[in-house]
Amino acid sequence: MTTVADPAGLVLSVESSCDETGIAVIEAGRTIRSNVVASQTALHAASGGIVPEVAARAHLRWIVPVLDQALADAGASVDDVDAVAVTYGPGLAGSLLVGLNFAKTLAWVHDKPLIGVNHLEGHLYAAWLRDPGTDRDESEPVFPLVALIVSGGHTFLVAMSDHLTYRLLGQTVDDAAGEAFDKVGRLLGLPYPGGPAISRAAEAATDHDAAFPRAWLGDSYDFSFSGLKTAARRTIDEARAEAGLPTGSAAGLEPDARLPEDRIAELAWGFQDSVVDVLVSKTIRAAEETGARSIVLGGGVAANGTLRARLAGEAEALGLPLIVPRPALCTDNGAMIGAAGARRFAAGERADLSLDARPSLPLARR
């Protein structure tokens, strides 16, 4: 039984914390009436990573067209919505400010309540989203639950006993899992972002011998990926030296200056196997130790097929349902902010126009 009221009405939600401009209209906290995302991935591919100044300018360029499309898709106007929800942290300050000021202006001009949402809470609440026409209780997360959120900026395990109630079990002490994928992707000369590229390369691996270290960190629920990244760099350098290629990053190199495809596939597989092994083992142990009744997986790295499949297999062996949003809801989007914002709105929360961007906003304490 939950103690937080069920959301009702329509929420317009705005996400701009990193490199996606997302605006959505969410009904009753769960149903996606519209969800429009303008991705900057192609824009940042040339530099091999996000340039904050470029990201903020792109948000400014796209936020109005994204709003127009989100309202058109939902068949609604701003006057029809009951509240405006917006990400206010964590994220890039310049990017956050664009969405935040935009949402504040909409709320003020149309006299709508403003709800501030933590981006990480948004990733968790993606698990409650459903497409129109889906059965009401199909795949609803059940409390208490354990959630693993793995993205380009964050990696953490959290326990939830009820809505909006979080206990941090562990988090990365250095790189986020997605960041490690992106860095190793660069070392292998794969296109940006490295996550999907490594995952595709690993699928082609026929040789499953590459062994990379796992950072277990004792019995803590924390994660560390910097040692793995260093090991990957060393192994890749050795392979490149063996193949008579220069060592160091292979980013931007022509295919014939990269390792042979089968070698890339094998190394991508070994790296991915190490990351997935640690993520799955810690999540399953946390679910068992906290007596969870369901498991939630979210964040951009949850688009990884191997991670999804392995966690699903182990959760099923424990008799626990695993809720993983479809990939477009795992990466940054406005709908997830609407799902969390609607829950906060139903709980009576309201922000005022002094709401400020919090680049390092935490989700929860231990």
Residues that bind Zn ion (CB under 5 A): 151, 332
Could you tell which of ligand KG4, Zn ion, none binds residue 301, using a CB distance below 5 to 8 A set by kind? Answer: ligand KG4
331 scored as a contact of ligand KG4 (CB under 6 A): yes
Of 81 and 158, nearer to ligand KG4 (C-beta) is 158
Rounded to whole angstroms, what are the CA distances from 334 to 34, 104, 228, 320?
A: 9, 16, 33, 28
Question: Which residues, at least 6 apart from 251, have a Cβ–Cβ distance to it below 8 Å?
Answer: 48, 186, 187, 189
Q: Is residue 279 within the footprint of ligand KG4 (CB under 6 A)?
A: no
Name residues whose C-beta falls within 8 Å of residue 42's C-beta, 6 or more positions apart in sequence: none
Residue nearest to ligand KG4 (CB): 300
**Residue position matching structure tokens 């190490």:** 274
The full length of the chain comes to 366
83 in helix, strand or coil? strand
100 binds, among Zn ion, ligand KG4, none (CB under 5 to 8 A by kind): none
Please classify residue 230 by burial: count the beta carbons closer than 10 Å to its beta carbon, then call 0-12 exposed, 13-18 middle and 19+ buried: exposed
Please list every residue from 287 through 326 that binds ligand KG4, using CB under 6 A: 299-301, 303-304
Of 7, 22, 189, 193, the one binding ligand KG4 (CB under 6 A) is 193
Choice from 29, 99, 141, 178 touching ligand KG4 (CB under 6 A): 178
Considering only the stretches 188-196, 225-233, 277-285, 311-319, report the one whose residues sit in contact with ligand KG4 under the rule CB under 6 A.
188-196
199 binds ligand KG4 (CB under 6 A): yes
# chain residues binding ligand KG4, by CB under 6 A = 19
Q: Taking every pair of C-alpha atoms in the chain, what is the biggest distance, in angstroms?
A: 66
Task: Give the strands of the sheet with 10-15, arranged side by side.
Answer: 31-39, 20-27, 10-15, 83-89, 114-118
Decide whether 40 or 151 has the Cβ nearer to Zn ion. 151
Cα gap 156→172, rounded to integer Å? 6
Residue 194 binds to ligand KG4 (criterion: CB under 6 A): yes
Q: Does 35 bind ligand KG4 (CB under 6 A)?
A: no
Region for residue 338 given its phi and psi (left: phi exceeds 0; alpha: psi -120 to 50; beta: otherwise): alpha
153 binds ligand KG4 (CB under 6 A): yes
As measured in angstroms, the least distance from the Cβ of 285 to ligand KG4 is 22
Residues that bind ligand KG4 (CB under 6 A): 18, 151-153, 178, 181-182, 193-196, 199, 299-301, 303-304, 331-332
